[in-house]
Amino acid sequence: MNEISAKQEKVLAAMAAHVLEHGLTTASLRPLAKAAGTSDRMLIYHFGDKDGVIGALLEYLAAGFVSGLDMAIPEERFATKGALLAAVVTVMRSPIAAGYARVWLDIVAASARGEIAYAQTGGAIIDGFVAWVAARLPEGEQNPDRAARALLTVLEGTMVMDAVGHGDAADAAIAWFSGDGSQ
Amino acid sequence: MNEISAKQEKVLAAMAAHVLEHGLTTASLRPLAKAAGTSDRMLIYHFGDKDGVIGALLEYLAAGFVSGLDMAIPEERFATKGALLAAVVTVMRSPIAAGYARVWLDIVAASARGEIAYAQTGGAIIDGFVAWVAARLPEGEQNPDRAARALLTVLEGTMVMDAVGHGDAADAAIAWFSGDGSQ
DNA sequence: TTCTTCTTGTAGCGAGTGCTACATTTCCGA
DNA sequence: TCGGAAATGTAGCACTCGCTACAAGAAGAA
């Protein structure tokens, strides 16, 4: 359905790099076009309007994120839920993931503001992420879906805490999640 | 230090109401002024520049939030950490708190984007919140500060999940936090 | 009253926003 | 080689943004 030429792909890649550095919701057409070596005129021509540009960008970024995540953490079952969470948090804290974290929090804030396009994309990303986590949970988990969602919720919390400079709190949550909370 | 007249207070209250409905980072001077029955010219006059307006607004909103939270959940020790988390989540999901959740996620996203003023305010809010939670933790908690930070991290995760329409995942995390994760 | 200081309205500047009208070039099939 | 379609450049429109210059009223002190 979405036939994109090699040229389009290059444009998207360049814009994605710009967005990963500067944020998504603050991006405007002219800077985006400049980063991609084209003009706002051309972006509108190819994507219809700004929403089209943002939508394509979101799709591109989401795909890049999951492939990067798969690269960093191949599909294999972890010994404990805590180890899996710690591994994902480590990846999310790496410099190359920082841009994705920024964009993700932009999506979340826009969703909370009621922008349904963002909320839908955000929900879809979470759905994919739940499956991704469930496939890496220790074997014998009674309710993998439920466990994956709980783990993801804690992960989201750590991203928020990291964003406001409270990685210490995030660490406390990870440690607590890894133990049973009693220590 | 911050002497604010009754008139200023009214202006701030009106602007806060506007921000709670429409978001913080998307707010601009003219709509803000209109909501407060004044002019952009006057906002600059009283607060210096837009950063001054936003700063005063953040201060006002933070104060309103903690007083509302104290009202909803007075200072008393809960029987379990899970019960405390569930109580806070219930409050945060109430319609009157929705605006604060929106604003909070705006602050988080701006912090991630590197806007230090927001990051500092966000960090301070978390600090206050940690103390607030610690004071309500069950007695006999070995490390209240650590437990409070872990609880808060999970709470932040639930807010993110709620924002993107995955309250179900948040519920899973709450249930898991309340038990020991084995059920 | 007169003078000074505080407060407010009017108007506008320069920059940026998404988007469009119009003309031109480029390219590919007939 | 020609003709139509796709692609691109130039210029600009109507709007919003944060902020400011200037002047006029309001209020209080002398």
Q: Do B154 and A157 touch (CB under 8 A)?
A: yes
User: In angstroms, rounded to a whole number, what is the distance separating the alpha carbons of residues B65 and B71?
Assistant: 10
Contacts of A178 (CB under 8 A, 6+ apart): A80, A81, A82, A83, A85, A86
State residue A4's pLDDT score. 60
Between A7 and A135, whose confidence is greater?
A: A135
CB B163 within 8 A of CB A111: yes
Give the CA dihedral A34, A40, A43, A49, nearest 10 degrees. Answer: 140
- Name the amino acid, one letter, at A23: G
State residue A181's pLDDT score. 44
Q: What is the DSSP letter of A77?
A: -
Neighbours of A117 (CB within 10 A): 14
CA separation, residue A97 to residues A57, A89, A132 (Å): 17, 10, 17
State residue B178's pLDDT score. 85
Q: Do A153 and B130 touch (CB under 8 A)?
A: no
Same domain, B175 and B108: yes
pLDDT at B24 over 50: yes
| Distance CA A49 to C1' D14 in A | 17
Q: Could you tell me the pLDDT band of residue A36, with boundaries at 50, 70 and 90?
A: very high
CB A146 within 8 A of CB B182: no
Q: Report yes or no on B68 lying in a domain.
A: no
Best mutation site among A156, A161, A178, A180 for testing chain B: the one with the most B CBs within 10 Å? A156
Backbone angles phi, psi at A78, to 5 degrees: -85, 160
Q: What is the domain count for chain B?
A: 2
Name the residue range of residue A14's domain.
1-58
Q: Report yes or no on A122 lying in a domain.
A: yes
CATH number of the structural domain spanning residue B45: 1.10.10.60
Of A102, A125, A156, the CB nearest to B112: A102
CB A82 within 8 A of CB A178: yes
Same domain, B100 and B131: yes
Neighbours of A110 (CB within 10 A): 26
Taking alpha carbons only, the member of B48, B96, B34, B52 closest to residue B71 is B96
Same domain, B119 and B158: yes
Same domain, B51 and B90: no
Same domain, A2 and A89: no
The mean predicted confidence, pLDDT, of chain B is: 94
Average pLDDT over residues A36-60: 97
pLDDT at A84 over 60: yes
Same domain, B42 and B83: no
Taking alpha carbons only, the member of A72, A71, A46 closest to residue A57 is A46
State residue B180's pLDDT score. 52
Average pLDDT over residues B44-72: 97
Same domain, A81 and A41: no
State residue B59's pLDDT score. 96
